[in-house]
């Protein structure tokens, strides 16, 4: 039997200073702030800047999600206005790679969302990003080409061979199922948005706390050694 390393938790789709304060209070590692134009959970740059400032001296790190119709100039403005030093690139692969190329001088901590199903060879795509120092998070899409953050449950059998190292997992996670998923797939990071929202779509501190506790408890349990 082996003991899992400490899992990291990202609470995403946070929309206010109160939300990131609650995320920090429950021990989240990352507080996700959506800056994708037109996205339901998107916030303004002014709100994002206040959220980043709230976490200035906290170990919980703010991370901004960018993608969609966003240019490298837009991302530079986002970074300059909000103070974000961590970004997660979502959406089209060629556009995301263009942003990576154009923003190399900013010394940002970058994550990349890759969605399933996909027309890409996801193992090759993930390795290509990782070779550039970018961390991978796999998410579920309702259809090929759709952005993540949909609340769709990820296909465990499809993602299992892709999960190793520092790679993370999103897609339909919530406080009720995250423990079983962590035991089964053993991701290095779990990422949730819809699973911490109440029935009105508002982020709920109680659900945040329950999610973090369930994920960490499951990750601390002994796991069978992998079969060679």
> What's the rounded mean pLDDT across residues 81-98?
95
CA 24, CA 31: separation in Å to the nearest integer? 8
CA 13, CA 68: separation in Å to the nearest integer? 16
Domain range annotation of the chain: 2-223
The band of 68, judged by pLDDT with boundaries at 50, 70 and 90, is confident
For residues 136 and 168, the answer to whether their CB atoms sit within 8 Å is: yes
User: pLDDT, tens digit, for every residue of 119-174?
Assistant: 899 999 999 999 999 999 999 975 444 455 566 789 999 999 999 999 999 999 99
CA 148, CA 170: separation in Å to the nearest integer? 8
For residues 66 and 34, the answer to whether their CB atoms sit within 8 Å is: no
For residues 169 and 163, the answer to whether their CB atoms sit within 8 Å is: yes
The CATH architecture one would assign to domain 2-223 is Alpha-Beta Barrel (3.20)
CA 67, CA 43: separation in Å to the nearest integer? 14
User: pLDDT, tens digit, for every residue of 191-211?
Assistant: 999 999 998 889 999 999 999
């Amino acid at each position: 039997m082996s003991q899992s390393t400490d899992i990291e938790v990202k609470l995403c789709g946070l929309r206010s200073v109160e939300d990131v304060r609650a995320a920090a209070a429950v021990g989240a590692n990352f507080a996700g702030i959506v800056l994708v134009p037109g996205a339901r959970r998107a916030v303004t740059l002014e709100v994002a800047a206040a959220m980043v400032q709230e976490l200035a001296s906290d170990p919980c790190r703010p991370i901004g999600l960018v993608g969609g119709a966003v240019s490298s100039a837009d991302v530079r403005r986002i970074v300059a206005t909000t103070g974000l030093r961590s970004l997660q690139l979502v959406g089209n692969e060629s556009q995301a790679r263009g942003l990576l190329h154009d923003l190399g001088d900013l010394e940002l901590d970058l994550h990349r969302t890759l969605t399933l199903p996909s027309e890409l060879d996801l193992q090759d795509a993930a390795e290509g990003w990782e070779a550039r120092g970018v961390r991978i998070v796999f998410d579920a899409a309702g259809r090929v080409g759709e952005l993540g953050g949909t609340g769709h449950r990820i296909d465990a059998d499809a993602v299992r061979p892709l999960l190793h190292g520092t790679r993370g997992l999103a897609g339909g996670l919530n406080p009720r199922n995250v423990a079983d998923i962590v035991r089964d797939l053993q991701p290095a990071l779990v990422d949730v948005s819809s699973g911490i929202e109440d029935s009105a779509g508002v982020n709920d501190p109680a659900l945040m706390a329950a999610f973090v506790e369930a994920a960490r408890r499951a990750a601390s349990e002994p796991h069978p050694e992998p079969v060679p």
